[in-house]
Amino acid sequence: MNNLKHSKKGFSVLLSALLLSLSFLSFHIPANRIPEAQDGIRQNTIFDIFVRYTDQTGERAALGVIHDLDYHIYWDMNMMSLRTDAEGLAKLSAHDSIASIEHSKEYNGLPQTSNLSGDPSSPTTPISSAAKIKQGQWGYNEVEAADAAQAGFTGKGVKIAILDTGVSEKSGLKISGGASTVAGVSSYEDDNGHGTFVAGIIGAKGKAYKGVAPDASLYAVKVMDKDGNGSTETLAQGLDWAIRQHMDIINLSLSFPQESPAIDDLLVKAKEQGITVIVAAGNNGTADGSGDTLAFPAKSPETITIAAVDSDLHRAAFSGTGSEVELAAPGVGIVSSSTSGKYKVGDGTSVAAPFVSGMVAVLKQADPTLTPDQVRSALRNSTTDLGTAGRDPQYGYGLISFDRLLDDLAK
């Protein structure tokens, strides 16, 4: 991503080349420096952008250039996402009350999930036999999820927003509500399977297995389509929905390659509103666990980034690594829910993240006043160290477990 900054002094001279690439750019504007739009572009080109404004004059200017009445105002942030054409972009670029313009970026967020079948089109493998289902329960047993339920902690009364491909009503999961921010899709019904699998790890109540927080209130926020495609705009609107609806936890089992200031600001806003945000570390790790392979939003300081381990408690070969990795959770050969109502087994850091979201729900049930920083500290203190002693880029502070967490809750 390149940054484009220049004075509006040259507005009448420089209208020739740059808007051809603006759909890939994000730029931020220091005081009194406004980027200019350029001429020499097809007038029917439409741009999806985030606009930051300093006052109501800027807000009115943004509303004045929207295309097809397609826009979204973010709560208490002086920010709007909208569609506009080249002329509208030029007007905003030249306006004194427009602080910044950022172009929405498209991405495919589903490389977060690996799979056992080897079929890249399917994040999970269908299973039917009792033996395979039992084998896929190892992760729930490892974190001692049943102990939490026996102690009366099931996440009851805690609201979790799952920003993903939606959640299927055929899965048997109880969905408390939700929304879709995907263009042309009004339902949060899952037409991919990824979001349903993630949700099942938290909230399943089936006979074969129970989720980590089976009584938590699950909210399906569809920010990716049937192919796992999304954008920073659909994600931003999903985050805004979760903030407005006063969620306690946001689960983000997705990633995108380039940083988005708009997403960063919304994650800050979520934390300010007391929301704990759990993020998958991604599946771009190297076999030997070397290097920084994390993407966004796993790199955000406002999120808690989760790596994946296998049943031997070794780092999964695909699990992303980097200094922002904070915790590890089961992420290989895990049983969960599917859009057909049957069970599936899947791998990925997407699978690991909801284990932690469920644990946070238990914490919030025990003490609803906990802040995101207090939740973070409690999770760190409950881990079993893995890998190099202390925090490391492969496992963070180590494997989550309800064992020590319940001891702390009992005090």
For the annotated catalytic residues, the residue numbers are 164, 194, 350
Phi/psi of residue 263, nearest 5 degrees:
-65, -40
In terms of C-beta density within 10 A (0-12 exposed, 13-18 middle, 19 or more buried), how is residue 341 classed?
Answer: middle
Distance CA 83, CA 69 (A): 8
Tokens of 77: 């942030």
- Share of the chain residues as helix, strand and coil, in percent rounded to the nearest 5: 30, 25, 45
H or E segment and range at residue 90: helix 86-93
Let me know: does 334 contact 201? Beta carbons within 8 Å. yes
- State the first-to-last Cα distance of the chain, in angstroms, to the nearest integer: 49
Helix, strand or coil, per DSSP, at residue 15? coil
Angle at 230 between CA 227 and CA 234, to 5 degrees: 140
Let me know: does 95 contact 34? Beta carbons within 8 Å. yes
For the CA atoms of 118, 122, 123, 125, the dihedral, rounded to the nearest 10 degrees, stands at: -70
Let me know: does 288 contact 309? Beta carbons within 8 Å. no
Distance CA 330, CA 359 (A): 13
Let me know: does 259 contact 1? Beta carbons within 8 Å. yes
Amino acid at 65: V
Q: Which residues contact 26 (CB under 8 A, 6 or more apart)?
A: 1, 3, 102, 103, 105, 258, 260, 261
Tokens of 239: 């985050």
Could you write out the DSSP letters of every residue in 26-87?
A: EEE--TT--PPP-SSS-TT-EEEEEEEESSHHHHHHHHTT-STT-EEEETTTTEEEEEEEHH
